[in-house]
Amino acid sequence: MGNSSYDGIILIDKEEGKTSFEVVKAIRRLLKVKKVGHAGTLDPFATGLLIILLGQGTKLSNYLMAGEKAYEAIMRLGVETDTQDLTGRVVNRCLVPEFEPTFIRKVALRFVGEIEQVPPLFSAVNYRGKRAYELARKGIKMDLQKRRVKVHSLAITSIDLPNVTMKVTCSRGTYMRSLAADLGKELGPGAHLKSLRRLCSGPFTVKDALSLETVEHLSRNRLIPQSIIPLHEALPEMKQAEVDSAMAQRIRNGHQPGCEEVAMVNLPRSFEGYMKLVEEKGLVAIAKVQPLLENKASLKIMRVFN
């Protein structure tokens, strides 16, 4: 059933109205791959970049999700909803003053940097062993804890009251719905997220993504392999070290190599963090480099790829 050439990732431009899981299901059906996942959920109303993981690419999930995200969002001032987006029930309406653009931009800057956010009640956050949205649908009261996230930049790109369009780059775990709701409160009349488009995730951009329709067309014509980013190219920002085929086999058989067994020639002496171990062009493993005493480092294999 599976196809070894389908180990890697494929970039999808998700359309509005589909859940991330529905996209995964469609890709599984179209490419006839058993193991399919995604790196970072997009709400059904949102569009844009969804990184789909194929075969052994599912092992890359955590590393891919750690990257910075970029979004274009439109918030609607004066209307608050229980879901903090346009799909929810209206819980509050308020008149929107004729704000000066400079005032909106000034208030928006308060949300740049490390901020605290309460996740939306209608989110996949775990609350006492259940998904928050499951409890929210039943009307069960929750006290979700604040989380620290980082907003690297927030630019207001157009104002057509009551709508405000912004471009945001942020860390993993930032809820754009919460950001819109909090910014709306700070401005006064409250707000909800009217539309959301993910432009980038880590090094990947929606400009390089395919629609499901295109994937269907390519798979029918057996052209899909050229659209799949192979495992060794799926983490382009991660440092890498070469191993020979004998060492690659030993690692795949469970060997934990020392730093001296791996060609770490291009890495600075003080390097710590994750790196790829590659043999020719194949990804063998992801390892973690940890500094030890006396200028020595240790290597720990985290994930192995066949």
Please identify every residue annotated as catalytic. Answer: 43
For residues 45 and 195, the answer to whether their CB atoms sit within 8 Å is yes
Distance CA 112, CA 93 (A): 27
Burial of 223: CB neighbours in 10 Å, binned 0-12, 13-18, 19+: exposed
Which runs of E-coded beta strand occur in 132-281? 147-160, 163-170, 191-201, 204-205, 229-230, 239-242, 273-279
Element of type H or E holding 22:
helix 20-31
Print burial letters for 174-209: b (CB count within 10 Å at least 16), e (below 16): bbbbbbbbbbbeebebbbbbbbbbbbbbbebebeeb
- Cross-strand pairs, 38: 52
The two tokens of residue 288 are: 């973690």
Alpha carbon separation from 84 to 21, 43, 71, 163 (Å, rounded):
21, 12, 16, 15
For the chain, give me the number of helices (H) and strands (E)?
Answer: 7, 18
What amino acid is encoded at 137 in this protein? Answer: R
The two tokens of residue 269 are: 């002496």
